[in-house]
Amino acid sequence: MKEQILVTGGTGYIGSHTVVELQQQGYEVVIVDNLSNSRIEVVDQIAAITGTRPAFVNLDLTDSEGVCTFFDNHPEVKAVIHFAASKAVGESVEKPLMYYHNNLFSLINLLDQMHEHVVQHLVFSSSCTVYGQPEALPVKESAPVQKAMSPYGNTKQIAEEIIGDQAQVSMLHAVLLRYFNPIGAHASAKIGELPLGVPNNLVPYITQTAIGLRAQLKVFGDDYPTPDGTPIRDYIHVSDLAKAHVTALQRMLEKNQKENVEIFNIGTGTGYSVLEVIGSFERVSDQKLNYKIVGRRAGDITAVWADTQLANEVLGWKAEKNLDEMMLSAWRWELALAKEKGNL
Ligand code: UDP
């Protein structure tokens, strides 16, 4: 058994896939989650995939005493992968204080107690949202951070700065992973994305429409300056993304970092339009999707995809799954959910 790793938000979408990859690499995992946007059954599902049940602690990281007690009770924790955060862009516009409170107090408490308990390694989930609409594509990590379009995006930018400042004055080492658009589900179809209510993101909306939970997908605009008029994103399979966390963790634990805080883009390096994503879904699911083109969604950028050179050559990680594989895994997950609910 390798080192013990704390995964905050470990029952969430990306967190649960990362727990699986960590366990499969021999790490011992402790999950901390307040289940605000996930289900406890995910722990069983992880155990069903890996054969090992991760430890689980129900804790809200904004509770500073609770975080202190957690580290007192878990002296073996060697490193932290921090996912736990609120992530709905629209909700963050409606409730900015809730987002700043949740996402920033959690991080501050965590960093504070990591320092107190001499835990010096952190992998942080950041987002390509920090680039806004980049001037040059593919976007490099050195591209300027632009003013955030939402309080959610701003919490990611502020969090990156907080981590950087803390690393200047302590032994903290961190890797900030800027995710592009994570989609898909584990190959077992035992874990995946569980959007509460109406999904905001494209792929769960597509699969929910196809399964009959939603009447019709709205494609938000086909008048963008792109080849087919719909916006372009860099979609990445969630298991590839999960593996990037394990690679980043190993890099820190093996003391291979060039700087105390390193930043990597985690994407495939290829952009696809909304219509290309729909086309891929129709191909792999062998059915037509009911969609219509409507007006643009406020705040959407035209195009972004990653320059992955640093991730490939310095971090030593590369995405493996292509768009069709991603869409097929998302569809299998939706089918598995429907079967569980008795809808199929
Ligand atoms: N999108 C869409 N209909 C939807 C949800 C998303 O046309 O119901 C489009 C959206 O305009 C964007 C792309 O799909 O161009 C990806 O959107 P998502 O919300 O998944 O990710 P993000 O906006 O964070 O890149």
Q: What pLDDT sits at residue 196?
A: 82
Q: Would you call 94 exposed, middle or buried from its count of C-beta atoms within 10 A (0-12, 13-18, 19+)?
A: exposed
Split at pLDDT 50, 70, 90, the class of 343 is: low
Nearest ligand 1 atom to alpha carbon 183: 20
- Given a cut of 80, is residue 312 above it in pLDDT? yes
What is residue 303's predicted lDDT score, i.e. its pLDDT?
Answer: 98
At 280, give phi and psi (nearest 5°).
-65, -45
Distance separating alpha carbons of residues 139 and 128, to the nearest angstrom: 9
233 Cβ below 6 A of ligand 1: yes
pLDDT of residue 2: 83
pLDDT above 70 coverage of the chain, percent: 99
Going by CA atoms, what residue is nearest to atom 1 of ligand 1? 202
Q: Rounded CA gap, 8 and 12, in Å?
A: 9
The partner residues of 220 in beta bridges, in order of sequence, read 294
Highest mean pLDDT, choosing among 86-90, 196-200, 322-326: 322-326
Predicted local distance difference test score (pLDDT) of residue 344? 64
Cα 324 to ligand 1 centre (Å): 18
DSSP string covering 95-106, please? -HHHHHIIIIIH
Three-state DSSP at 168 gives helix
Q: How deeply is 245 buried, as exposed, middle or buried, from its count of CB atoms within 10 A (0-12, 13-18, 19+)? A: buried
Mean pLDDT of 206-215: 98
Rounded mean pLDDT, 142-150:
95
What local confidence, expressed as pLDDT, does residue 341 receive?
86
pLDDT of residue 323: 98
What is the Å distance from ligand 1's center to 148 Cα? 17
Average pLDDT over residues 45-58: 98
Residue 33 has pLDDT above 80, yes or no: yes
Mean pLDDT (the chain) is 97
Q: Does domain 4-184+235-266 have CATH number 3.40.50.720?
A: yes
204 neighbors 195 (Cβ within 8 angstroms): yes
Q: What pLDDT, in 10s, does the model give residues 286-299?
A: 999 999 999 999 88
For residue 167, the model assigns a pLDDT of: 98
- pLDDT exceeds 80 at position 1: no
pLDDT tens for each residue of 99-110: 999 999 999 999
User: How do the domains of the chain map onto residue ranges?
Assistant: 4-184+235-266
pLDDT of residue 276: 98
Which helix (H) or strand (E) is 181 found in, with range?
A: strand 181-183
pTM of the model: 0.97
Is any atom of ligand 1 closer than 6 Å to the C-beta of 100?
A: no
Say how far apart CA 95 and CA 111 lie, in whole Å.
Answer: 24
Residues 6 or more apart whose CB falls under 8 angstroms from that of 298 comprise none
Whole-angstrom Cα distance, residue 208 to residue 199? Answer: 9
**d(C-alpha 9, C-alpha 16), whole Å:** 8
Annotated catalytic, 235?
A: no
In short, whether 276's Cβ falls inside 6 Å of ligand 1 is: no
Mean pLDDT of all residues in 293-321 = 97
Indicate if ligand 1 lies below 6 Å from the C-beta of 83. no
Q: Whose CA is nearest to atom 19 of ligand 1?
A: 201
- What average pLDDT does range 11-18 have in this prediction? 98
Q: With beta carbons less than 8 A apart as the criterion, state whether 240 and 229 touch.
A: no
